[in-house]
């Protein structure tokens, strides 16, 4: 399927975040629209709704999937505390996620084992997200800044090198540790080491 360089956002926050209006995905949507994009935004509270949003994304022609949720090394959780493990996420995405990119605004979720659960199973281009806990304020400026930098210079695609360059800049600026793993035919696991550590 031919895809467009636009963002499909799935967000699932804690009740406290909801009550205090901490909707990161809406900020990202606004910045994307400033660049002439037409992002899709889905707020979900349960695992069933999360799975339905994933299916909607897979039927679409969006290239970039951005998930905003609370998480740990094992996976993410919805508003209602339904858990979605890393391997389960890979299974949900499946091969229809090939040649797309996954951006995870989810604490401590992106690491080598997680990449192993996602990239070979889906054949996606890459997985990007924090390797440690990240505060809402940091996430709410980090991600819109990343999408701004990427769309400002290349509105129709994200190259591996440009993504790495901009991630390094922003990780240093906001003092966050980011993981960036990409599909690789040259490595036995099928994916790279953390590109930002190279």
Per-residue pLDDT of the chain (198 residues; tens, 9 = 90+): 799 999 999 999 988 888 777 899 999 999 999 999 999 999 999 999 999 999 999 999 999 999 999 999 999 999 999 999 999 999 999 999 999 999 999 988 999 999 999 999 999 999 999 998 888 888 889 999 999 999 998 889 999 999 999 999 999 999 999 999 999 988 988 998 999 986
Distance (Å, rounded) from C-alpha 167 to C-alpha 17? 26
Gap between the Cα atoms of 65 and 101, Å rounded? 6
**Structure confidence at residue 198 (pLDDT):** 60
Q: How far apart are CA 98 and CA 112, in angstroms?
A: 19
| Gap between the Cα atoms of 17 and 39, Å rounded | 22
At residue 94, the 3 state secondary structure works out as: helix
Query: Are 148 and 195 within 8 A, CB to CB?
Result: no
- Which residues lie closer than 8 Å to 191 by C-beta, 6 or more apart? 115, 116, 119, 120, 181, 182, 183, 184
Domain boundaries 4-197, CATH class: alpha beta
Question: Which pLDDT score, from 0 to 100, does residue 136 have?
Answer: 82
For the full predicted model, state whether its pTM sits above 0.75: yes
């Amino acid at each position: 399927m031919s895809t467009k360089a636009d963002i499909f956002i799935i967000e699932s926050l804690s009740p406290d975040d909801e009550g205090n209006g901490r909707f990161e995905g809406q900020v990202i949507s606004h910045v994307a629209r400033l660049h002439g994009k037409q992002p899709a935004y889905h707020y979900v509270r349960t695992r069933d709704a999360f799975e339905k949003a994933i299916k909607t994304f897979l039927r679409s022609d969006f290239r970039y999937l951005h998930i905003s949720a609370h998480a740990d090394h094992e996976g993410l959780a919805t508003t209602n505390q339904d858990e979605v493990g890393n391997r389960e996420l890979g299974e949900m995405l499946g091969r229809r996620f090939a040649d797309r990119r996954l951006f995870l605004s989810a604490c401590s979720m992106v690491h080598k084992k997680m990449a192993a659960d996602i990239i070979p199973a889906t054949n996606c281009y890459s997985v990007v997200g924090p390797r440690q806990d990240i505060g809402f304020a940091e996430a709410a400026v980090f991600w819109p800044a990343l999408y701004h930098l990427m769309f400002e210079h290349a509105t129709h695609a994200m190259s591996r090198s440009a993504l790495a360059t901009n991630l390094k800049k922003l990780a240093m600026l906001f003092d966050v540790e980011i993981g960036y793993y990409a599909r690789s035919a040259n490595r036995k696991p099928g994916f790279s080491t953390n590109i930002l550590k190279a």
